[in-house]
Amino acid sequence: MALMITDDCINCDVCEPECPNDAISMGAEFYQIDPHKCTECVGHFDEPTCAVLCPVACIPLNPAWRETREELQAKFERLTAEKANA
């Protein structure tokens, strides 16, 4: 699954710079995660860095975006290749 940021977000700016996939950006009212870019840090870290650092624990799994670890790994590999070719 990709992660999501709930409306409990306090816009503390901790998560965005820590995302290795640039999946986090400011939305209309609070930060949001692009599920097409979120790999739950698979390929980068053992745990989702944004969720670990979040001071209000507002970054749960997104139940609308289910992915296996293998799918997350494949997404990581695709994103890494795209970044290398950019």
Write out pLDDT tens, residues 6-37: 999 999 999 999 999 999 999 999 999 999 99
pLDDT of residue 17: 97
The upper half-sphere exposure of residue 2, i.e. CA atoms within 13 Å in the direction of its Cβ, equals 17
CATH classification of 16-85 is 3.30.70.20, yes or no?
Answer: yes
For residues 68 and 74, give the distance between their C-alpha atoms in angstroms, rounded to a whole number.
10
Q: Percentage of the chain surpassing pLDDT 90?
A: 94
Question: Given pLDDT bands bounded at 50, 70 and 90, which one contains residue 1?
Answer: confident
- Residues near 46 by beta carbon (within 8 Å), at least 6 away in sequence: none
Region 31-57: mean pLDDT is 97
Locate the domains of the chain by residue range: 16-85
Contact 35, 72 (CB under 8 A): no
Residue 26 has φ and ψ, to the nearest 5°, of -75, 130
pLDDT of residue 71: 96
